[in-house]
Structure 1
Amino acid sequence: MLTARTTGGKLMIQLVLTLLTIPFVLPLIAMVQGSLAGTGWNNYRTVLSVPQLPGFFKNSIIIAICTVALVYVVGLLAAFGFSKLRIPGKEFFFWLILAALTLPGVVMITPLFKTASTLNLLNTYPAVVLPLAALQIPFAVLIARNFVNGIPDEIIDAARIDGASTFQSFWHVVLPLMKPIGATVIVFTFISAWNEYLFPLLFLVDPSMQTLTQLPQFFVGQFSNDQTKVLASAVIVALPQIVAYLCLQRLFERGMSAGAIK
């Protein structure tokens, strides 16, 4: 790891890092300040008093947790297979999966809606969870495979000599070593699923099935546009993501650095 040995070098690094964070911090400060404008904390009380809020929160939690679990299991298993198993044509399939990274979710709205309607999945959690997971798995496989490439083959060979099957080698040997990259996958997937606006809006027809991303719509209408309540809603929606990141911060940072260089 590169470090600055002189005071001038340390100050320069600190200055550069501060300048890089300004574009990201200023909008957050403006959002919090705007949410406290007007009636102050009463804006948050009004938002928290919305009757549908508990249901929206429950729906968001269910969708986010199910998406994270699916991406975590499938992504890490696929990364292990692409990295350590001898599978015919695995490089072709790996690049085929990576090609999915170029597809934005918007272009797949029509076929996804038709498929969900045909399978009678509209207004159900799988109608949102499955597309979200499918869009996140390629990225999870990409970063997790780079991490698994750095795990010595000798460790897996030793487990097989001791009588472990392929799955047992993954579960008892590889998976514990993948905690940092697993935390990275969890954070990225949780943020993406929690912030998803379009898929719940289209696939969850019943208003009671909507997620927290629909909360600001209660304060925007034909004859009203209370931006202070909208910003307060945005702050409330963002809090679980901040908590998730803080809980997994150390593993997340280790996973990001390891997945980038291994």
Structure 2
Amino acid sequence: MFETKTVRARLFLQILLAIIVLPFVFPLIAMVQGSLAGAGWGNYQTVLSLPLLPGFFINSALLSAAVILIVLACTTMAAFGFSKLHIRGKEIYFWMLMVALTLPGVVLLAPLFATVTQIGAYNTLWAVILPVAALQIPFTVLLARNFADGIPNELIEAARVDGASTFRTFWHVMLPLMKPIMAAVLVLVFINSWNEYLLALLFLQTPEQQTITLVPQFFVGQYNNDQTKVLAAAVLTGLPVVIAYIFLQRFFERGLAAGALK
């Protein structure tokens, strides 16, 4: 751990963090500057005047909310089971789940496409919701299990002695104590699901079903390539994520640090 008790140590840490952040800040600055080139704020007015833009925002919000609910439910229950329940062979199941972290999403596109078309979910939000949730669960379970391991086993045993069932123990004892890591998972999943582009591009074909990340494609075509409008659309797409992170930053950092360290 860094010791930041002295002014010199704090100053050095601030300078170091500023240097580390610079490579990530420059592209954002370039994006905002590019979005204001040419027509200036008129680029944003053009993007906001798209008739289907409210529908894109609603679809992205529905997708993100569904993914968050699925991931939180699966993650908390899996973390409780892997950490506190006596399940035969649970470590084998856990490491089988961790193997999924090594699979890049691109490798799964062909089988996902075949599965989605076979079950009739093509061009529906569920075609994106379920794969996005499934791809995020292994990492969130890893974080949540580490956090759950830090909760004293005596609390679980006390609930069992009092006659609480496994579900009541999970709901009334475990779940309230897992709020910090749940907040971190919420922010992480929201960012990933809101910014999902590849699966949305592949599975959502009609404008009525498409999400906000696909808005820039309306300004790129065979005879049109207005990069200023594309950058303006990208800025508007990223604003909800930035706002959400600003308001939930404290909970995200606290939960992520607690979940990453045992």
Shorter-chain TM range is over 0.9
Q: Give distance in 2, aligned partners of 1:118 and 1:38.
A: 46
Give the paired residue count: 262
AA paired with 1:261?
L
> In the alignment, residue 183 of structure 1 is paired with which amino acid?
A
1:8 lines up with 2:8 in the alignment: yes
Q: 1:209 is paired with a residue of what secondary structure?
A: coil
Q: How does 1:16-95 map to 2 (within 5 A)?
A: 16-95=16-95
> CA separation in 1, counterparts of 2:139 and 2:55?
30
User: How much has 1:2 moved relative to structure 2?
Assistant: 4.0
2:180 aligned partner: 180
Shift of 1:175: 0.9
**2: CA distance between counterparts of 1:8 and 1:250?**
25
Rounded to whole Å, the distance in 1 between the matches of 2:206 and 2:224 is: 24
Indicate the SS of the match to 2:208: helix
Q: Under a length normalisation based on structure 1, what TM-score does the superposition of the two structures give?
A: 0.96
Q: In the aligned structure 1, how far is the partner of 2:145 from the partner of 2:5?
A: 35
- Cα deviation digits, residues 71-113 of structure 1 (max 9, x gap): 0100111011001001111000000000001111111111111
Does 2:222 correspond to 1:222? yes
Return the alpha-carbon distance in structure 2 between the equivalents of residues 242 and 129 of structure 1: 22
- Counterpart amino acid of 2:237? V
- Cα deviation, residue 205, structure 1: 2.7
Q: Is the 8 A contact 1:36 1:43 kept in 2?
A: yes
Structure 2 unmatched runs, 5+ = none
Q: Distance in 2 between matches of 1:7 and 1:142?
A: 36
- Note if contact 2:200-2:210 (Cα within 8 Å) is conserved in structure 1: yes
Uncovered stretches (5+) of structure 1, i.e. residues with no partner: none
Q: Deviations over 1:120-152 (max 9, x none)?
A: 111222111111111000011000000000000
Q: Among all aligned residue pairs of Structure 1 and Structure 2, give the percentage whose two residues are the same amino acid.
A: 60
Q: Distance in 2 between matches of 1:70 and 1:5?
A: 42
Matched with 2:155 is: 155
State the AA in 1 paired with 2:137.
Answer: I
TM-score by length of structure 2 reads 0.96
Query: Is the contact made by 2:148 and 2:178 (CA closer than 8 Å) also made in structure 1?
Result: yes
Q: What is the alpha-carbon distance in structure 2 between the residues aligned to residue 52 and residue 174 of structure 1?
A: 43
- The one-letter code matched in structure 1 to 2:21 is T
Measured after TM superposition, the shift of residue 224 of structure 1 is 2.0
107 and 228 in structure 1: CA distance in 2 versus 1, 3 angstrom threshold? same
Q: Using the alignment, how far apart are the partners of 1:127 and 1:217 within structure 2?
A: 20
98-107 or 142-151, which deviates more: 98-107
Return the offset for 1:5. Answer: 3.1
Q: After TM superposition, where is structure 1 displaced by more than 6 Å over at least 4 residues in a row?
A: none
Query: In structure 2, what is the equivalent of residue 201 of structure 1?
Result: 201
Question: Which residue does the alignment assign to 1:121?
Answer: 121
CA distance in 2, matches of 1:162, 1:5: 46
Matched residue type, 1:79: A
* 8 Å Cα contact 1:179-1:251 kept in structure 2: no
CA distance in 1 between partners of 2:59 and 2:140 (Å):
24
| SS of residue paired to 1:107 | helix
Q: CA RMSD in A?
A: 1.2
- Match for 1:214: what amino acid? L
Alpha-carbon distance in 1 for matches of 2:249, 2:119: 39
Matches within 5 A, 1:92-111: 92-111=92-111
| CA distance in structure 2 between the partners assigned to 1:25 and 1:227 by the alignment | 20
Paired AA for residue 163 in structure 2: G
Residue matched to 1:144:
144
